[in-house]
Structures are given as structure tokens and as C-alpha cells.
Amino acid sequence: MPILSPALGATVPDSPHATVVCLPTLADVESYERKEARVWKHLRAGYPRFVRNELVTRAAQEAARRLGRTGELFPLVSEASARRLAEHAGAILTSVDQVGDWCLATTSAGDAALRLAKMVQHTGTLISSRQAEAWLSGVAPTEEAAALRTIRATLSPLLSGVAVDDILIATSGMNAVDAGIAAVDAVQRPRGRSAWIQLGWLYVDSTRLFEKARDAKRHFISDVRDLAAVERLLAVGDIAGVFTEVPNNPQLETADIPALRALCDKHGAKLLLDPSSVGLASVDVLPFADILVSSLTKYAAAEGDVMAGVLAVQPTRPDATELLALARQRLEPLHVLDLAALANQVGRMTEVTRRLSATAAEIARRLATHPAVARVRTADQGPTAAAYRRLLRSGAGAGSLITLELRGDMRCVYDRLAVAKGPSFGLRYTLAAPFLWLAHFEEVTNEEGRAQIRAAGLDPDLLRISVGLEPVDEIWAAFEAALVK
């Protein structure tokens, strides 16, 4: 059966808890980014930090009705997150109510509410659709320690040296990122260290957390190979930490991580590493990290219906005990119902990652020879391939991601491509996204922004492909048809 492109607003999978919503044309992407009703009236679910699931909306509205609350509604996982994020956003909360196992915060409409909504997005602190569904149905979930034990036991061989109970499972990868940054800040600021180095292009929300830190410098080094620039900044003595993705997304380039570790040790900086783009089963980066953070929404939850993250502190590093305690205090734990859903999938992560990597490698090979394709990027090819391969686990590959640069008009290719089209990756479904149009819409829609993107070594109109588990020839047929001039 040929792969089909689902309709606007369709979810992948067909589930009320799906994490992918389909945007079949670039015009749909543009309307999505501009919050136009033409597209948003069709959206019932989507990537949960960006699209408020209709179950979450219903829970917030019903709680507000019962409590007599009005204004902008924020159904959040905890009061602590509500108050911290509101303070950061400069928003005054007009009410904060405990509602079952979650919290409803309200604030007046306006710029402060918009800033708060962005901080909630960056930190992954909305309640989940399963949590909302349970509350709406009057079901009080019982504690399910077995699911958490299953997840930790499955991840433990990939996080060697970390005590099982110290593997922290978060509401999202970004919640783990937020907790990791906060832990490093708390340890390093008393030492006069508050600045950060962002090495390479990072996922948009990670970048925004650094940009929105009100009293800390962020140094952006676009080329992950430029460790000389890293050392010059480290030598100043005010760097709290260095954060890089392994590999980064969507460049799919990897820094020399052992050398970066040595520089951080020499100059007293902490090193945060995020292997989300290829998954924990592909690369072993914990030996070089102070803190590892990763999404489990990808690869571990390959069905596409759970959002989760993980944080682990390398126990042999200086300040490990304090960093772990601080991260545990900041991080928001994954809801019991989502733990149960993740526990049912995580055991297949290593095999799914291996199969995705193998299929992606073959699709990348075919794309590289197509006359309509200008460049194909994968983690194990190109100028940083050796640095990536040094971190590879035995038998692993380059994950599901391919970054595709075209010779012709991206809009035509994207619109014709008969696969699911929406954000996310590492799922059993092939996905395509005009990544920078989704993550950096303001920049790609003006010439100055496009120039900045090009200066960072990226094509503003690149397509990010996440290859799925469908037969290779079916996936290839979809691309061949789309790439025909």
C-alpha cells in the first residue's frame, strides 16, 4: 500500500494523545505559524508543547467553570511551575487552584499572558492529554511504580554508572533541559559563573531558554568544530556551562566531545549534552557529560502518542550529588498515565532505532544521487562524521533524520510529498517538515533573518525528513514522485 499524505489536522497516530498534527502544504504551515483560523480550526491535537490538546483545553475550561475563574487559563503540572514561570514572564497570576493532581492558574489577557504561554511551551509544563482525560472522566489514577521501574530498567544499560533511581523521567525533553540548566546555574553562580556557550544550532526552545535568561550572557558559536572560539570564551572565567546537541538539529553535526570535555575541565565549566536527534540507543555521551538531557518523545515513544524526557547526572563528575539534587527539585515528573504508556513502548527503543537508522541510511543514499537534490545531511556523513562515529554504540547508526537541501522550489516538493507532514521525528511513521519554517518562522519570512540562517550554515528552505519503518521502496516512491520537476 503506498504511503499517503494525511489531511490537514489529521493526527499521527489516529489517537486523542497523538504528538504529530499534519500540515500538508507550505501554505498550511504559514497559516499555522500565523495562528490563522483556516488551519487552527482543524487542530484537535499536535506536538503538545505547541498545540494545546483539546482534552487539555476542555479540562481547563471545565475547572474554570466549576471554580468561577476567568481570564487566560493555564492548566499546569504544579503550582511551583506556575509561580516560577509567571514570575519569569512578569505575569501576575489572578488565581492558582489545585485541581486534582494538577493546577489551574489564570492571568489577564495581554502581553504578559503571551510571555507566560511561551515559557510554558519552553519548559513543557502543561498537563498531558491523558492527565486531562482522566480528570474529565472522574478517574483518579493510582500510583504505578511498576511503569517507572520498567522505564528506568530499560534505560539503565544506556546510562551506565547511574543508579536506577537517579534516572529522572520528565514531562518532556525540554523540561529536562530546563532542569539541567537550572541545576548548573545554581551550582555555578555562587562561583561568579553565569554565562553560557551554545555550541552549534540548537533546538529552538533550548535557544529561547538561554535568550530569555534575564541576567546571563549567551554566546552562540555556530560552527561545532570551532573549539578555539569555545576556549577563548571559557578562558574569561565566567562560563557556567556549555550546551550542545549530539548531533545538532537540523545540521546533524557533532562537536569533538572528548576535546570539549577536556576544555570544560580545564576552565571549570559544566557540559550539558543532548542526544535527542539520534536517541539514547545510538550514541553514548554520558561519559563526557556533567548532565545528559534527552527527549523520549522520539525513538522511545515511537508510536507517537507520549511526550517525555530524561535527565541523568554523570556520577563521577565534580558536584554530581548537588547537581542531581537540584535537577530532581526542578524537574517535573511524568504523569503516571504517560509513564504507563511509555513503559509499553520503551522496551522496543533499541530495535526501533536500529531499524530506523538502517532505512534512513538507504533513503539518504538514494537522495544523494537525485538531480533535484543539492545536499543531503546525515549524522554519520560530512565534515563531523568522525566525531559522531567516536560516540556510536556498537551496531548503531545515524538515527532517523535526514536534512535535505533542494535545487528547486521547496514549496512544490513539500506540497507534492505523499508522507505525513508535521513536526517531530524518531517515530515509526515517515515525517517531513520545512523545519526552519516551523521553528524560526519570523526569520525565514524576511531577508535579514534568512541571511542570518545562511550565515549559520543552513538553507532556510531545508526539509527535515524523519524516515519511518515503512518498506524502503514505498518511502522512496513518495520522494521520487515529489522530486520530479
Task: List the CATH number of the domain containing 332.
Answer: 3.40.640.10
Collapsed DSSP state (helix, strand, coil) of residue 311? strand
* Nearest partner of 401 among 277, 299, 279, 309, judged by Cα: 277
C-alpha cell at 15: 489517537
Same domain, 232 and 122: no
Assigned domain for 41 exists: no
* Nearest partner of 324 among 436, 202, 211, 163, judged by Cα: 163
CATH number for the domain harbouring residue 104:
3.30.70
Same domain, 191 and 225: yes
Residues of the chain with pLDDT under 70: 1-4, 214
Assigned domain for 49 exists: no
Same domain, 361 and 231: no
Same domain, 198 and 317: yes
Same domain, 457 and 365: yes
Same domain, 151 and 241: yes
Collapsed DSSP state (helix, strand, coil) of residue 106? strand
Same domain, 329 and 363: no
Assigned domain for 153 exists: yes
* Nearest partner of 101 among 149, 146, 63, judged by Cα: 63
Assigned domain for 273 exists: yes
What is the total count of domains within the chain? 3
* Nearest partner of 401 among 353, 443, 453, 460, judged by Cα: 353
Q: Which pLDDT score, from 0 to 100, does residue 3 have?
A: 64
Same domain, 235 and 204: yes
Assigned domain for 106 exists: yes
Assigned domain for 48 exists: no
Say which residue the cell 562560563 belongs to: 239
Alpha-carbon distance of 459 to 457, in angstroms, equals 7
Same domain, 341 and 354: no
Same domain, 117 and 232: no
| Domain termination residue (choose one: 290, 323, 346) | 346
Assigned domain for 134 exists: no
Alpha-carbon distance of 54 to 32, in angstroms, equals 16
145-199 tens-digit pLDDT = 999 999 999 999 999 999 999 999 999 999 999 999 999 999 999 999 999 999 9
Distance of alpha carbon 23 from the chain centroid? 19
Q: Which pLDDT score, from 0 to 100, does residue 147 have?
A: 96
Same domain, 27 and 67: no
The pTM for the full model equals 0.95
* Residue-range definition of the domain harbouring residue 26: 11-36+349-483
Assigned domain for 43 exists: no
Secondary structure element (H or E) that encloses residue 168, with its range: strand 168-170
| Domain termination residue (choose one: 95, 127, 159) | 127
Alpha-carbon distance of 43 to 236, in angstroms, equals 48
